Chains A and B, each alone.
Chain A
Amino acid sequence: MKILRATRMERCIGCYSCSLACARLLHQSLSWHRSGIRIRSAGGLSTGFEAQVCLGCDPAPCAHACPTEAFRQRKGGGVRVKRSVCIRCGECSRACPVNAIYMDAETGLPVVCIHCGRCTAFCPHECLEMIESAAGEDDDR
């Protein structure tokens, strides 16, 4: 089971192509926020960029905090998301230690990386990659 890692952010030029790809391909949106990976500048453009993205915790505090089964543990790290049972309480977002879950102000729903890897094709400098998770094979299918 692979997870997304922003392993080479020192190469990032701040084009936001990854965020725009996630918003476009997963959320049918044009957005900086509505994306599982969000690029932030760390104190102005002169200090470079960082990626706000799920680190693939196992166990995932967000899944633990979720009062329904909207967020379930994904084998290999991270979570599987079932929006239909989300009550928009925001507990997942508060539980995330790295602020990787964005509560969409317009829909009220959480937005989180699902480690699908579609953004990686849109990074011009290979800052992002899918790596084999230490937690082993997925048996959650």
Chain B
Amino acid sequence: MIGEEAFRVLLVNLTNGKSEPVLFGDPSEMLGGSGLAADLFAVHGIVDAPADHPDQPLIFATGPLTAYFPLMSKVVLGFKSPYNGQYAESHAGGRLALALRFAGYDALVITGAARTPSCLIVGSRTIEIRDVHYLWGLDVLSTGKHLRRFCGREAGHRSILRIGPAGERGVAFASINVDTYRHFGRLGGGAVMGAKRLKGILVLGDGSSSLPKGNAYRDLYKRVYEKVTQTPAMKKYHDLGTAENMLVLNELRAVPWRNLQTTHDENVHRISGQRFAEELLLRKTACAACPVGCIHVGLLREKFAEQNEFLYRQVSYDHEPIFAAGSMLGVTSAGGVLALLDEMERQGVDAMSAGVALAWATEAFESGVVSDKETLVPLSFGGVETYREAVRHLGLRTNDFYRFLGQGTLTAATHYGGRDFACVLGQEMAGYATGEVFFASQAYGFRHSHLDSAGYSYDQKADSRKSEDAAAFLMEEERRRVQLTCMVSCLFARNVYSEDLLQECLASVGCPRLAESVVARSSEVQAKRWQLKFRTGYNPMDISIPKRFGEISTWKGEIDTVFMHEVASRYQHAVRKLVDARQSARSS
């Protein structure tokens, strides 16, 4: 926080029920968000213990600009992933970033495991670990209803996190739901909460802090606010939202359909952003401190009995969930997509991972690799109702098949067969079949996320087909994004917050030294994160790009697997070089 000589971190130990606010590091020298999370993991993480070890930390970190500027609205979660055993990050918005800021903490570190299912409540003058054994087993939405009764006077000025059955049962891609419509989705943060018997977290944003004197900060805030709200910079996100990608990518032959058996389908208009907006969009909502409001909430009306008996569901959607519960599963009704997303939400599984896992399971079932003895339901592309049942099996880990699948698609494919068509790039693929650079970037990226480094953008826009150019692009784009996730900005604001503007913002809130050195420091954080990933077991040799990715065609024609492997190799080499340079700089 501004003017502080150290980060204020709350350490919560669930095993003994005691907490300790501590001072950590030097905010004038260290970046927050991704940087702070990595630094805290280096101290509190146990490199050689499994992800579900009770002493492993769950680290929620904010940054130097959190709440000070529009779209500085995200929190970085640093943890050891139950999916791959490696140091991982996941990011979420909602109200959590502001709630932590106003509670007075730069970061929250949770270690230990509670004796009984518990809810942690943290505020500026509150730390409480409350027994909620009666919520264990409840789905995410029901849990939210109960947790909202806690500290009701703070309604609207708090953030509520919770897990569902998948997190309780250790599904490796269990998510943490944040304020109903946002998530720490990927790589299994929900399972880490489950291992700690932590069903929910409430953060009360009930404190205040002072702002820099003079007009410079206020004037700059106004300028950024106007840039965000009055220029086309953010139009895409609050108009159709990222769901607009579906038509565009389909036209390019770059949408994964039916377990990536193809990249184009003429039924795309039935699940396009336009169709969602026309037929199902109920309203939009926002993360706290974001006037853009990109959260698109769809209204699904369902007749559940004769005589006009209806129920309704409110489900948020975006490009990625539509890909995962739509095209990838061959579901071509917008209502069907929302129904499936609702079930994933309830179970507390990451939508992208669950959708891709079930797409593999469907192809495995249809091709005879597994039978209904394993799948329990006759999976078929487009079968919404059977998928809803399958999602429940996945969340509840009903049998061995769903237990394997809940460890990740590749784990199941290794056991049953069908690795060639497992659409896994480090983790279940994202919704871009744009080509070689994206496939390499997700497979070998730090978070195995499409948001790591914009490989999909390189596929679409770059002229060069030189693998060294592609690898250099990925490394610099990753650094630029790390710079934002150290603040902690929403990555949708990446075209708003240029390097110059970030430096102005940092200087205006009293961090002139960070402003001057932000490029070098973000590069250092980039290296530090990779170093932690290697130390916790990452070995690029363990990663391969399954055959399916080389079998498709995009607007550019067939996938050039030679180029793809060259990019992958150069990218790994560049990462290794970055880590080695940091190691030798520290030892010299």
Q: In the complex, which residues of chain B have a beta carbon less than 8 angstroms from the beta carbon of A46?
A: 180, 297, 314
Q: In the complex, which residues of chain A have a beta carbon less than 8 angstroms from the beta carbon of B287?
A: 15
Q: In the complex, which residues of chain B have a beta carbon less than 8 angstroms from the beta carbon of A23?
A: 208
Q: In the complex, which residues of chain B have a beta carbon less than 8 angstroms from the beta carbon of A13?
A: 283-286, 291, 293, 295
Q: Given contacts A30-B68, A32-B98, is CB(A15)–CB(B208) below 8 Å? A: no
Instruction: Tally inter-chain residue pairs, CB-CB below 8 A.
Output: 101
Q: Given contacts A28-B211, A32-B205, A44-B144, is CB(A14)–CB(B102) below 8 Å? A: no
| A138 in contact (CB, < 8 A) | no
Give chain B interface residues in 375-390, CB to chain A under 8 Å.
Answer: none
* A-contact 0/1 string along B278-293, CB 8 Å cutoff: 0000011111111111
Contact between A15 and B288, CB atoms less than 8 A apart? yes
Q: In the complex, which residues of chain A have a beta carbon less than 8 angstroms from the beta carbon of B181?
A: 45
Complex Cα distance, B152 from A41, in Å, reads 10
| B209 in contact (CB, < 8 A) | yes
* B-contact 0/1 string along A100-141, CB 8 Å cutoff: 000011100000000000000010100000000000000000
Residues of A within 8 A of B (CB-CB), count: 33
Complex Cα distance, B292 from A104, in Å, reads 29
Q: Given contacts A13-B285, A32-B102, A41-B156, is CB(A124)–CB(B293) below 8 Å? A: yes
Complex Cα distance, B179 from A46, in Å, reads 10
Q: In the complex, which residues of chain A have a beta carbon less than 8 angstroms from the beta carbon of B481?
A: none
Contact between A30 and B208, CB atoms less than 8 A apart? yes
Contact between A29 and B98, CB atoms less than 8 A apart? no
Q: Given contacts A25-B218, A45-B180, is CB(A15)–CB(B290) below 8 Å? A: yes
Chain B contact patch, size range = 35 or more
Contact between B207 and A106, CB atoms less than 8 A apart? yes
Complex Cα distance, B289 from A34, in Å, reads 15
| B157 in contact (CB, < 8 A) | yes
Q: In the complex, which residues of chain B have a beta carbon less than 8 angstroms from the beta carbon of A39?
A: 156
Contact between B291 and A17, CB atoms less than 8 A apart? yes
Q: In the complex, which residues of chain B have a beta carbon less than 8 angstroms from the beta carbon of A106?
A: 207-208
| B24 in contact (CB, < 8 A) | no
Give chain B interface residues in 263-322, CB to chain A under 8 Å.
Answer: 283-293, 295, 297, 314
Complex Cα distance, B155 from A105, in Å, reads 17
Give chain A interface residues in 44-58, CB to chain B under 8 Å.
Answer: 44-46, 48-49
Q: In the complex, which residues of chain B have a beta carbon less than 8 angstroms from the beta carbon of A14?
A: 156, 285-286, 288
Q: In the complex, which residues of chain A have a beta carbon less than 8 angstroms from the beta carbon of B221?
A: 24
CB distance from B508 to the nearest CB of A (A): 12
CB distance from B226 to the nearest CB of A (A): 9
| B231 in contact (CB, < 8 A) | no
Partner of A16 from the list B98, B145, B179 (CB cut-off 8 Å) is: B98
| B566 in contact (CB, < 8 A) | no
**What is the chain A residue whose CB lies nearest that of B213?**
A28
CB distance from B296 to the nearest CB of A (A): 11
Complex Cα distance, B205 from A105, in Å, reads 13
Complex Cα distance, B285 from A95, in Å, reads 33
Complex Cα distance, B156 from A72, in Å, reads 30
Q: In the complex, which residues of chain B have a beta carbon less than 8 angstroms from the beta carbon of A16?
A: 98, 288-289
Mind listing 14 A-B residue pairs with CB under 8 Å? A13-B283, A13-B284, A15-B291, A30-B208, A30-B210, A31-B207, A31-B208, A32-B157, A33-B207, A40-B155, A41-B155, A41-B156, A43-B155, A124-B229
